Amino acid sequence: MIKIGIVGGTGYTGVELLRILATHPQAQLTAITSRKEDGLPVAEMYPSLRGHVDLAFSSPEKAKLTECDVVFFATPHGVAMAQAPELVAAGVKVIDLAPDFRLQDVAQFEKWYGMTHTCTDLLKEAVYGLPELNRAAIKSARIIGNPGCYPTTMQLGFYPLLKAGVVDAGNLIADCKSGVSGAGRKADIGLLLTETSDSFKAYGVSGHRHTPETIEQLQYMTSEKVGLVFTPHLVPMIRGMHSTLYARLTKDLTNEELQALFETAYKDEPFVDVMPFGSHPETRSTRASNMLRLALHRPANGNTVIVLVVQDNLVKGSSGQAVQCMNIMFGLDETTGLKHVPVMP
C-alpha cells in the first residue's frame, strides 16, 4: 500500500483527491492537513465521504508527512516549495497541484505569481506531470509539477499538429471555458450563484497565469517560435472545461490525414478519446471522470483546423491527473483507481 499525505485537503482539488483515493486499491490515506480545521473529521466537512474516509484534518505540525510515501499539495502557490525540500530529503515523493514546480523559467514564475521562488534546485529536477507526453520522466521523478487545467487541454489538443509540423506555431488561438469550481473553494462575491448564474464572461484577457506555462510546454513540441492567444471564460456550471483551439495549416493534408495524426498520437492512451472527425464533444461526457475527449473540424475544408477538447477540470484537469502520475511513479497500472464512468445526466 502507498502511504499518502494530502496538504490542503479542504478545497475542491483536495476533496477530489480524497474521493479518488478513498477507493484506490493501493492507496492508504495517512494524513490530511488543514491548520484551520485541525481535529475536524473529514466526513463532517464532506458528508459524501462518510464511510469512506475516517481520518480527521490535522495541522501540518501534527501530521507525520515524512512517514508518507507520497504527499500531494492541493494548496495555493508558495506552500509546496516551502515544504518540499524536507519531504524529498526524507525520501517522500511530492506531487504539487499548484504552480510551484510547473514553470522552469523562474523569472516567469516570479512575474506571474508575485513571489520569489525559494526552491530552484528542486525545480530543476521537477517533471511536468502530463503523462501522455512525459510518461518516462514521471516514472523516475521525485517531484511532479501537476499541469494546470487549461494547459492540459491546450497541450493535448495542439500536440499532434505541432509534432507533425503541419501548422503555423506562431499563430495558435485557444478559446477556453471553465466551470466555477476552477476558481477554487473560497468566499468571493464574483463566484456566488447570483453573480455567475445566467451569465457568461471572459477574464484574464490581457494576460493569464496559464499562458507562460502552456507556451513553455508547447515550445518543446516544435522548433518554431510559439505564439499563443489564450482567452479563458467563466461559464455558469460547477465543473467542466471546453477548449476550442484554432491553428492555421501550413501543409495540404486531407481530413483523413489530420484525423490519423491524432489517432496515432493517442491510440494507446487510456484517458484520451479521439472522436470521429466532425464530432462535438460535450463537457457532460467527461463529468467526474479522468477522460479527455477531443474532435477535429475543418470549416469549408480551408486552411484552419479546429480542435474541440473537453474534460472535467477537477479530474483530468487536476486531481485525477495527479493520481495518474502517482500510479506511474509507483509502478502501478496507470488506470488504477481512475476508471470512473462519467456521470450522466
Cβ-proximal residues to 113 (8 Å cutoff; 6+ apart), any chain: 77, 78, 99, 209
Beta bridge partners of 293: 273, 310
Q: Which helix (H) or strand (E) holds 157?
A: helix 149-164
Q: What is the pLDDT of residue 330?
A: 98
**236 and 200 in contact (C-beta within 8 Å)?**
yes
Q: Is 149 a catalytic residue?
A: yes
344 assigned to some structural domain: no
Instruction: For residues 121 and 160, state if they share a domain.
Output: no
SS3 state at 294: strand
pTM above 0.85, yes or no: yes
Write out pLDDT tens, residues 209-265: 999 999 999 999 999 999 999 999 999 999 999 999 999 999 999 999 999 999 999
**216 and 101 in contact (C-beta within 8 Å)?**
no
Instruction: For residues 110 and 184, state if they share a domain.
Output: no
Write out pLDDT tens, residues 31-83: 999 988 999 999 999 999 999 999 999 998 899 999 999 999 999 999 999 99
Instruction: For residues 7 and 58, state if they share a domain.
Output: yes
- Domains: count for the chain: 2
**CATH number for the domain harbouring residue 47:** 3.40.50.720
**CATH number for the domain harbouring residue 178:** 3.30.360.10
What mean pLDDT do residues 265-275 have?
Answer: 98
CA atoms of 259 and 58, how far apart (whole Å) = 50
Using pLDDT thresholds of 50, 70 and 90, give the confidence band for residue 187: confident
114 assigned to some structural domain: yes
User: Quick one: what percent of the chain has pLDDT higher than 70?
Assistant: 100
Instruction: For residues 222 and 79, state if they share a domain.
Output: no
37 assigned to some structural domain: yes
Instruction: For residues 161 and 298, state if they share a domain.
Output: yes
330 assigned to some structural domain: no
What mean pLDDT do residues 5-10 have?
Answer: 93
Q: What is the pLDDT of residue 185?
A: 84
The domain containing residue 291 runs over which residues?
Answer: 150-313
**218 and 142 in contact (C-beta within 8 Å)?**
no
* Closest to 161 (Cα-Cα) out of 218, 105, 78: 218
321 assigned to some structural domain: no
End-to-end CA distance of the chain: 35
Tell me the pLDDT of the chain averaged across its residues.
Answer: 96
Q: What is the pLDDT of residue 193?
A: 81
Instruction: For residues 55 and 155, state if they share a domain.
Output: no
Instruction: For residues 185 and 68, state if they share a domain.
Output: no
Instruction: For residues 56 and 166, state if they share a domain.
Output: no
Instruction: For residues 120 and 163, state if they share a domain.
Output: no
Q: What is the pLDDT of residue 101?
A: 98
Instruction: For residues 97 and 180, state if they share a domain.
Output: no
